[in-house]
Amino acid sequence: MRFTTYTKYRKSWLDALNLEGLMEMLSDFLLDGGFAGGPHFHPYWGWSGLEDTGSLDALKQALLRALVESGQLTPEMVEELRGDGPGNPEVQQEIADLLDELVQKMIEEGYITLTGEPSGSAGSTGDATGAGHVDDAREAARTVNFNLTSRGLDFLGYRALRNLLGSMGKSSIGAHETREYATGVESDAGSKPYEFGDTLNLDIPETLKKTIAREGLPPPGSEVALALDYKDLMVHQTDYRSSCATVIMLDVSHSMILYGEDRFSPAKKVALALSHLIRTEFPGDSLRVVTFGDRAREIPLGELPKAQVGPFHTNTAEGLEVARRILTTQKKDMRQIIMITDGKPTAITLKRGRVYKNSGGLDRDILRATYREVAACRRSGIPINTFMLADDPYLVRFVREVAKIARGKAYFTSTMTLGQHIVMDFLRKRRAA
């Protein structure tokens, strides 16, 4: 005879915590890819890239800050963290266990994965307060890195989009149709006779009706099939939904994190929000990402969280060239470039891959090369919408000239309103299509 042993359920801290709320609070940390090339000293602005943004220990410290800020710790825990407590090892261990459980829950929910995990239980934190010596467990946690999964990335995109729509007073978005008709997959309009080139999305009842009207019904019990004729064919006529190919250009020059403000993480959030919007509401659209610093390159959306600002100049011309090459291969009704930057172009790529740089003022050669690429985008029918995160007079002149040449738009915004401007501009175009 088999016996089942029941034990009393002990409620854990994890049951009372809102993991999704913590993920949202951690969004800036999770999207901080660090500084390319490691610590860098600038003669005017000091050090950059000193922060640890990718290790398991850094994740736990970020979780701890989020728990404190959200008021989800007991007074005893808070006192212990502040150093005002009696140094109770049981409370310290309780905090460490909570952090370990949170990380494990994030893994089980599919938000993150760990790489470089050492054997044994070295991934656990030990003394989470940082009081006393740093033990072997915490040292080991610094050798373990975490990575966002596609599910974690999609969750951050969903939350970013929801927050943007909430700030604009909108609760949801619907699909946007045009005034034109076509033979698509969805049957939300009438039928029409089939013409060569139409999608063979047959309206079977209407097709049979035309055949019967032409030939009449076969005798009862007859096995003679209806003889369909080409002119009997009727297809569903649906609202034609246009498609749009978009390339987001993200400035990764040093200035995006200087002046005491992180402008790069909000730009990443906008890209994630737009990606989620396109995937869920406009599946026929496409979104690609190009980063531009000293050089420009396309990065997969999955690598966006790890994208890094570095000690780079701003090669706007090459960024536009890469974006234009991508868009010319896209067979879409509309194509556009969304450029997010905070400074003037300060670099161009010369023959044989050499990069000419000049950060002192508006260099004529660099401007000429940049405007030449802007004009090439216009000839290809690709508008450039520039979102400038600064408002210096010379930048205003530059951005307006780009908008004039490319027949695009210029927005002078801040990190607080960047997402609203971009999402509203995208939706406005989709409605007008």
Query: Of 40-49, 85-94, 321-330, 338-347, which gets the smallest average pLDDT?
Result: 40-49
If pLDDT is split at 50, 70 and 90, which confidence band does 410 have? confident
pLDDT tens digits along 8-60: 434 455 666 778 888 888 888 887 766 665 555 555 555 555 566 678 888 88
- Please indicate, yes or no, if residue 309 is contained in any of the structural domains: yes
59 and 171 belong to one structural domain: no
pLDDT of residue 348: 96
User: Whole-angstrom Cα distance, residue 202 to residue 185?
Assistant: 10
Q: CA torsion 20→21→22→27, rounded to 10°?
A: 90
Q: What is the DSSP string of 375-418?
A: HHHHHTT--EEEEES---HHHHHHHHHHHHHHT--EEE--TTTH
Region 329-334: what's the mean pLDDT? 88
Q: How many domains does the chain have?
A: 3
Q: Are strands 334-341 and 384-388 parallel, antiparallel or unpaired?
A: parallel
Question: 253 or 78: whose pLDDT is higher?
Answer: 253
pLDDT of residue 189: 56
Of 222, 239, 256, which one is at a domain's C-terminal end? 239
Region 249-269: what's the mean pLDDT? 84
Instruction: Give pTM, 2 decimals.
Output: 0.68
278 and 426 belong to one structural domain: yes
pLDDT over threshold 60, residue 5: no
- What is the enclosing helix (H) or strand (E) of 115? strand 112-115
- Please indicate, yes or no, if residue 247 is contained in any of the structural domains: yes
pLDDT tens digits along 338-371: 999 988 899 999 988 899 999 887 899 999 999 9
Amino acid at 99: L
pLDDT of residue 319: 96
190 and 280 belong to one structural domain: no
- Please indicate, yes or no, if residue 6 is contained in any of the structural domains: no
Average pLDDT, the chain: 78
pLDDT of residue 9: 37
pLDDT over threshold 60, residue 119: no
Tokens matching residue 405:
């040449």
- Please indicate, yes or no, if residue 372 is contained in any of the structural domains: yes
Of 239, 268, 286, which one is at a domain's C-terminal end? 239
pLDDT of residue 250: 94
Contact 111, 148 (CB under 8 A): yes
Amino acid at 4: T
Region 220-243: what's the mean pLDDT? 74
| Listed ranges 12-21, 117-126, 279-288; the one with the highest mean pLDDT | 279-288
- Please indicate, yes or no, if residue 7 is contained in any of the structural domains: no
Tokens matching residue 100:
């370990």
202 and 342 belong to one structural domain: no
User: Whole-angstrom Cα distance, residue 372 to residue 365?
Assistant: 11
Pick from 422, 411, 339: nearest CA to 160: 422
pLDDT over threshold 90, residue 375: yes
CATH of the domain at 158: 3.40.50.410
- Please indicate, yes or no, if residue 379 is contained in any of the structural domains: yes
**418-432 and 264-281 are packed helices; what angle lies between their axes, rounded to 10 degrees?**
30
140 and 162 belong to one structural domain: no
pLDDT of residue 71: 79
Of 131, 148, 165, which one is at a domain's C-terminal end? 148
Give, in degrees to the nearest 5, the angle at Cα 235 between 206 and 224: 50
If pLDDT is split at 50, 70 and 90, which confidence band does 294 have? very high
* DSSP-derived 3-state class of residue 288: strand
395 and 258 belong to one structural domain: yes
pLDDT of residue 15: 63
pLDDT tens digits along 126-182: 444 444 444 555 555 566 888 888 888 888 888 888 777 665 554 444 444 444 544
Contact 426, 387 (CB under 8 A): no
Contact 419, 269 (CB under 8 A): yes
157 and 140 belong to one structural domain: no
- What is the enclosing helix (H) or strand (E) of 64? helix 56-69
Question: 6 or 74: whose pLDDT is higher?
Answer: 74
pLDDT over threshold 80, residue 200: no
- What is the enclosing helix (H) or strand (E) of 348? strand 347-349
Region 285-310: what's the mean pLDDT? 91
Query: Of 136-140, 185-189, 257-261, 322-326, which gets the smallest average pLDDT?
Result: 185-189
User: Whole-angstrom Cα distance, residue 318 to residue 369?
Assistant: 9
251 and 354 belong to one structural domain: yes
Query: Of 2-6, 213-217, 314-318, which gets the smallest average pLDDT?
Result: 2-6
Q: Where are the alpha helices (DSSP H) in 222-315?
A: 264-281
- Domain with 115 in it: 13-148
pLDDT of residue 316: 96
Pick from 242, 245, 426: nearest CA to 328: 245
- Please indicate, yes or no, if residue 383 is contained in any of the structural domains: yes
- Please indicate, yes or no, if residue 1 is contained in any of the structural domains: no
223 and 85 belong to one structural domain: no
161 and 199 belong to one structural domain: no
φ/ψ of 51, rounded to 5, equals: -75, 145
User: Whole-angstrom Cα distance, residue 21 to residue 18?
Assistant: 5
Counting residues of the chain whose pLDDT is more than 70, the rounded percentage is: 74
Query: CA Rg, the chain, in Å?
Result: 29
304 and 326 belong to one structural domain: yes
pLDDT over threshold 90, residue 201: no
286 and 420 belong to one structural domain: yes
Tokens matching residue 260:
């005491």
